[in-house]
Amino acid sequence: MNAPTDVLDLVRDGADLIVPIRNGEPHTVIDALEAHADRLTGVRIHQMDPARERPYINGKYPGRLTHVSYYLGPGCRQAYWNGTCELVPAHFSEVPLLLREYTRHSLVLAASTMPDEHGYFSLGTNADYAAALIGEVPFFLEANPCMPRTFGQNQIHVSQVAGWCVADYPLQETMPAVPDDRDTRIAELVAERVPDGACLQIGVGRIPDALLAELAGHRDLGVHTEAMSDGVMHLAEQGVVTGARKKLHRDKHVATFCIGTRRFFDWLDGNASVAMLPVDWVNDPRVVAREPAMMSINATSEVDLMGQAASETIAGRYWSGSGGQADFARGAMYSDGGRAFLVTHAATGDGTSRIKVQLGRATPVTTLKNTVDHVVTEYGIAELRGRSISQRAAALIAIAHPDHRDRLTYDARHAGLLH
């Protein structure tokens, strides 16, 4: 066992350090790097969705310690806008590949459980891209008694780590979101299309939480998802989520990272029904496609009348990243009986339509029009797969906010999208 500062002996000039998502971040180890940044040169930390803002992310140590993000979140969003961190566009499934091929992947810094009686640490709430590098890259672990012990492919033996330290602090909690009437209506519309025995990939937030609540009357649902949270726990406790009809990891709830409340973390601890697996397997569209009746549900921020979905920007400014949206939409396309849903409110808080005639010039497309299956607002479901441009435009206008339908129809005709 080491002190957090012992990590400095393992960090060379120009090193690329890999840190997991959210609660996979070892706070005391990153604290040590920041406190001794004057000893570092050209060191980069690669991470999706940091748990919190940090001085180094905000550019306090230029040329010494900098941040590279693969998905913007609250911990680095403002820093990206300020120009003090980098953003790499990436499908979540491909992040391990990018780290292997385009970085030195010098060292993984990760939070973990304490070692068990057999000498194994668990990465707890995480597998993500870090677990994909076990056996390939040295690890320095921060063992935390508050971290739940999970199973799957996120265990690492004490003989495989370059060093480890102990820290005792509570995990960051993410409280369940409170849905509004629009969220509930969208959830009802999607739940009607989810058959018993389906396998779910569902995100985190107000609409996903509302949908999980709406599924309480279903039977034998499975879970194969990137992010798992309290809603899955509640359905598992009710006997709704069993995984009994899954093809892969039958009877297991599969995820690649977890966020939620302390109660959820306690439920995860020692729970053999949960399998935490690396993201390059969980999110691989070819793997997703092997699950029958795969239901992919993800949020988007804008959809144009051809069906292109922009899910990373708000008002033309980057807000997040691609994540696994396209991974699962593509996988659900090839699943036997699979469906993919992109969900959004019909209008923003200031009344701007989220259904657009065309996306703005600076707006990146997250999910291609050829892949988008269903688009859902509180006004209905637009089925796009196999439909012409004109049919798509008509279907999307029908689920737009009523205040915008006439204008969308007029502009669509002038743009040649609607006959």
CATH number of residue 10's parent domain: 3.40.1080.10
Predicted local confidence at residue 316, as pLDDT: 79
Q: Same structural domain for residues 232 and 333?
A: yes
Boundary-marking domain end, from 110, 141, 166: 166
Predicted local confidence at residue 341, as pLDDT: 97
Predicted local confidence at residue 313, as pLDDT: 87
Active site residue 383: no
Predicted local confidence at residue 378, as pLDDT: 98
| Catalytic, out of 25, 94, 214, 226 | 226
Q: Same structural domain for residues 366 and 248?
A: yes
The 10 Å CB-count burial string (b at 16+, else e) for 153-164 is bbbbeeeebbbb
The span from the CA of 42 to the CA of 13, in Å, is 6
CATH number of residue 274's parent domain: 3.40.1080.20
Q: How many residues does the chain have?
A: 419
Predicted local confidence at residue 1, as pLDDT: 67
What's the pTM value of the predicted model, to 2 decimals? 0.95
The span from the CA of 125 to the CA of 150, in Å, is 7
Residue 171 belongs to a domain: no
Predicted local confidence at residue 177, as pLDDT: 84
The span from the CA of 208 to the CA of 210, in Å, is 5
Cβ-proximal residues to 276 (8 Å cutoff; 6+ apart), any chain: 123, 126, 127, 131, 150, 151, 152, 153, 154, 255, 256, 257, 258
| Structural domain containing residue 160 | 4-166
Q: Total domain count for the chain?
A: 2
Q: Same structural domain for residues 240 and 205?
A: yes
Among 265, 26, 50, 30, which Cα is nearest to 166's? 26
Q: Contact, 195 vs 225, CB < 8 A?
A: no
Q: Same structural domain for residues 205 and 146?
A: no
Regions of the chain short of the pLDDT cut 70: 1
Among 22, 26, 99, 35, which Cα is nearest to 65's? 35
Residue keyed to tokens 């960051």: 172
Beta strands across the sheet bearing 355-356: 309-310, 302-304, 355-356
